[in-house]
Chains A and B, each alone.
Chain A
Amino acid sequence: MFKYFGIRLLALIPKLFIISIIIFLGLQLVPGDPISRTVPPDKLAEMDEEKVALLREKLGLNDTLFERYGKWIGDIFKGDFGYSLSTHGEINKIIANRLPATLELAAIGLLFATIFGLLFGFISAIKQRTPIDYSLTTLGIIGISVPQFFFGLLAILFFGITLKWLPVGGRMGVGEQAFFDRIQYLVLPSFILGIVYIATLMRYTRGSMLDVMGKDYIKVARSKGLSEVNVNIKHGFRNALIPIMVIIIMRLPYLVAGTVIIETVFNYPGMGSMLVFAISGTDLPIVMITTLLIAVVILLASFLVDVLSALLDPRIRLGSDKEGA
């Protein structure tokens, strides 16, 4: 089995390599002199041509495409992500500030979504073809139809402005550093972030649960005289959970994508709002690094999916020898 995981892990490397090349080439296609992307314009205007030429040489802009790619990827491996064009700050520091914020938001969103998604799906399945089931299913469709940011704006208006229960945006107030002070800022964005996820999980949980409840061993459990609660939870839900675990991880990248919109709606200082800001300001170094980071996260998630599916279903890891990695 470890051999299978090893092969899967190694297969990530060429994918990551291809993605990094695409990102790098994308940057080369952007019109404009690359030096204007590396040196602030006001400083560039002060310099005479000789100095610019010298700088060009120093920055390695006269090298071949191949050499420049090597330098770029080498710097990233050394942990040097370069400088932002708009704020001129070190990208390392910016990310160190913003990554924890996004992780916090995504983790709590995931927690919300998993609890409610599983709960609603479970109820929907054991109450199949009742008004409860129909209304939950319809709510699920509404959840994926109404734009997330529109939900967010409505929530700000209602809970933030009208009722004044929760702050309307941001991550912390003045002097509120502790997690418990920050949690009120997280409630709305993380819940809104989770809505689409809840709807998806609910649908899968319902389907998987119905699948399991039709199996013979459920009939056996019932005929042994076990209570309905016992049958539903211990025998039904536990087994239905197995494919759901895979779905939870598989859909994780979509949760990450959601943070981009949600952070913008709530003015939340995370990676998502940073990316939007960088794209609107054509701050390409930040865009490239963020894209690469996202790619790493997504590929790791897909690796986790493979591992989980293999652990849960022996047919997959045994069949893998024929297919190759």
Chain B
Amino acid sequence: MIRIENLSVAFGRTEVVKHVSLDLRDGEILGVVGESGSGKSVTALTLMGLVSDSARMTSGRILFDDVVLREAGKPLDRALYRSYQGAKMSMVFQEPQTSLNPTQRVGRQVEEVLRLHGTLTKEERKKKVLETFLAVGLKDAERVYASYPHQLSGGMRQRAMIAMAVILHPRLIVADEPTTALDVTIQNQIMALLRGINQKQNNAMLFITHDLNLARRICHRVAVMKDGHVVELGTAEEIFERPGEEYTRRLVEAVPSRMKRISDAESDRKTGSESPVLEVRGLSVYYQEGGNSLFSAQRKRRAVEGADFAVYPGESLGLVGESGCGKTSLSKAILGMNRRIEGEIIHHSVRPQMVFQDPYSSLNPAKTIGWLLQEPLRAAGALDRSLAMTKGDMEAAAYDMLRRVGMGEEYFHRRPSELSGGQRQRISIGQALISGPGFLIADEPVSALDVTIQAQIMELMRRLQREMNLACLFISHDINVVYKMCDRIMIMKDGRIIEIGKTEEVFENPREEYTKLLLKEG
């Protein structure tokens, strides 16, 4: 019913989509997987007629039920597209937070689809929006209708987006990473919802994702994209069980799964025999709400309650939980960035260093890599004269660290903007390690990276841990990543650590219901 024939799209001179041919039947879910930059999103946006004006279609055409929507060399027929957009084909985006207009009520935004297509009266439109809200699982439909986006949770916002996409029962739904920005437990609900709609309305769905586990679970067929090409297209089973192409095989292997672990036998260390680098006893962390102005009363809110654990040299301790569970509050308290605490935090090593999630914003773009790597040494020298090093020593240390994180000396004089995401994360890690701490806190260090890069960074961290006998508190929402990386694991929920134990034991015999839920959905 939908045919993309030999599609090529270029930005300026660079082609980002090259001779892509795909087709979709009613009721079918076609997954498009690939790493960032593979052209999967541009393909979807071109299909929807939403790709930015600077993109040019250089070959091919797009057909919807034998109607040519778009053809290379001919200008985009906006009026034709508008009659399809929202009515016959619709899209669910990745970020429900930013994809809704922040200053318009949600009900009105959904209703706009009806206003644009069709002739319903005001009352009929509202009735239909409310019905659709109920159908996508927004039980408090009236309230959602009158709410602004920021008043809803992430999951509710995505449901509202889905309501907007399905309200006119379009033949095609394009879903671009619809669950990536959501928590694991919510992810599954949203996927179940999309799946249910697909079965009930029998619409075709183009499902774009970088998450291969997800693609495997819900797609009938899967197309693997790399550098603008479709390298392999087949049924989900074929792609994942018998990948034909080398690249597909690598992609499938890089996916963190329960089968493969990096933490090897050697890492099954006898925790407890050594003295810990960090002990946390009965720790509660608070943060203040309000209090920005002279008059508003300050309220204390407890973010972490009664945490008890220790981290031992050379081990990786995983900290898993959904957003808002207190993971970040806990790590901030350990770093000394939040002092509103009760209980004890005892450091037996130098202050821990931190690796952040987003390697794009956590490196100062104006400085060279060499400068960035030396900065912790300079800071330490400025604080404590006895630690001050000569310029030559610092440079030598920076070169040494570049090598250790697997990058060539030529990067010393480059700037962050010239590096890829994975390379930047390597530099962040080098920056954290250069002052030789015995303890590292990594807050979602691989969440912003592609799967193959993820695997490389995790390997690197494991290797450095071995070489430097480094303890690591590894924070993540992705239970599979934690399984791959960590010796022990802590599960956090609503500010409490509900389960802690050796990774295998927790995975094989989870004690808590919540842990079981996380394991099932991850």
A-B complex is real: no
